[in-house]
Amino acid sequence: MSLPPLPLVPRSARTTPIVSSANRVLGTQPGGPAPRGASLPPVPASGAWREGDEPGSRRFADVGGIELEGGGLLPQVTVAYETLGTPAADGSNAVLVLHALTGDSHVAGPAGPGHRSAGWWEAMVGPGRPIDTDRYFVVVPNVLGGCQGTTGPASTAPDGRPWGARFPRVTTRDQVAVEILLAHELGIQGWELVVGASMGGLRALEWALMGPEAGIEVRNLAAVATTAQTSADQIAWAHPQLAAIRLDPGWAGGQYYDAPDGAGPHAGLAVARQIAHTTYRSAHELDTRFGRLPQGGEDPLTDGRYAVQSYLDHHGDKLARRFDANSYVVLTESMLTHDLGRDRGGVEAALSQITARTLVVAVDSDRLFPPAQSARVAAWVPRSEGLRIVTSDYGHDGFLIEFDQLGPIVRDFLEAEDRVTSSR
C-alpha cells in the first residue's frame, strides 16, 4: 500500500524489491539450530513492541518534539525506559546505561510478558553487581529509532499509520538529544556514571559533551568496545546489511506492518544479522568452535550446511523474531553518522573537551571496534584512566560475555571514584 508523505525529511526506499532466493525458511528454531526444512512457525512481519502490547517493566515519557540534525522536526517523541534502584534525595546516584544496536531498555530482569528475553547485561546491573542497584539509581532508555517502545519506524505517525520507511534519518546526536530530554523529564541534573558499549558507547561519548552543554553533569564515563568516529571499515560492513533488508521482497518499501506472519522482510533482516554476527565474533572462535564440521546429519557436498552456517542461520532467525527491519536500518544508519569531531574541530579536539573521569575498555579480539579505536579515545580524554583490555576469544561480543573481567574493571572504576569523593 502506498502511503502519503509526511511533513518531515523522509527516508525513501532506495531499491525496488526483487524476488530473492534468500527469502526462504531459514531452517532454525527459536531455541537453536534445526535440520534444514524443519517445520517452523512463521516469522512475524515485525518483532517490534507496539502500542497496546504488554508493557512489562517499561515506563514511558512523552518528551515533546525534536529538531533533527539533518533537518526537519520529529513532532512528538515518546521514550520507553526502565529504572532500577532508588534515587538519592540529592540526586547523586543516577547512572545512565546505554544499549547496543539490538538491545533495549530491559538491561536486567527475567523474560516474561512484554520482554521476549532476559536482561542483556544481567551480570553487570543489579543488587550487589558492579553497577549496584542497592546503591545506584539506574536509568536505561530504549534509543530513538528503536523498536521496543521509544518512537521509531513501528510507531504511529501523525497520520495514524506506522512511520515505516518514512521515519526520518536520525543521528547519534539526535538520539542523545532525546535522552537529554528524558533526563530533564526525570529531574536528573547529573549522572554519577554514563556507560555504554558498542552503539551505546557512541552515545556515551556524545553524552560527555552534550550533557554538560545542556546543564547535565557527567561525572564519570565508561566507553566500552566503541569508537569516537565510525570508520570506513565499519561503514563497509554495514552496507551489505542494509542492502539485504531492502532487497527482500517482503520489505515492500518499508511498509510491511500489515503483512501476515511469514510475509515480512524476515529473510533480509536475518541475512543482515548473519553478516553483523560474523563481525561480532572472532575468526579464532569460529574456527575453534566449528571448524569444518557439518551440521548434524547434513552433507555440505549435497546441499547440506556446515555447522557454522547453521549457527548463523539460528542467530538470523532469532533476531528476525524479536526485532524490526526498519529499526535495524534506522539504527545502523545512525551509527554511520557518528563522528565526535564533526563541527568540533576534529576528533582529538572533541575528546580533549571531555571533562568526565573516563574508563575506556577494549576487547583484544574485537574486529568490529578494534582496540586501536579505543586507544585513541583513552589517549586524548584528559581524565582518562588509560586503556583497559579484556582478553577474549569471542571478539566484539566479549563485552556481553567476559563478565569475570569486565565486571571487576567497572566495579574498581566506581570504587576508586568513591575513595576520591570520600577524601575530599
Marked catalytic residue, from 155, 198, 310, 327: 198
Give me the catalytic one of 106, 277, 315, 396. Answer: 396
Long-range contacts of 411-420 (CB under 8 A, 24+ apart): 411/130, 413/220, 413/222, 413/359, 413/385, 414/130, 414/131, 414/193, 414/220, 417/192, 417/219, 417/220, 417/357
Q: Is 49 helix (H, G, I), strand (E, B) or coil?
A: coil
Distance of CA 231 to the CA centre of its chain: 17
Q: Is 198 a catalytic residue?
A: yes
Task: Determine whether the annotation assigns residue 246 to a binding site.
Answer: no
Residue 301 grid coordinates: 557436498
Decide if 171 contacts 337 (C-beta within 8 A): yes
**Residue 393 is a catalytic residue:** no
Q: CA-CA distance, 99 to 121, in Å (whole number)?
A: 9
Please give the DSSP secondary-structure letter assigned to residue 81: E
For residue 174, count other CB atoms closer than 10 A to its CB.
23
Write the DSSP symbol of residue 247. T
**What are the CA-CA distances from residue 270 to residues 239, 313, 331 (Å)?**
15, 7, 16
Query: Which position among 104, 315, 366, 392 bears the catalytic label?
Result: 366
Tell me whether residue 273 is annotated as binding.
yes
Catalytic site positions? 198, 366, 396
Which segments are annotated as binding site?
273, 397
Which segments are annotated as binding site for substrate?
273, 397
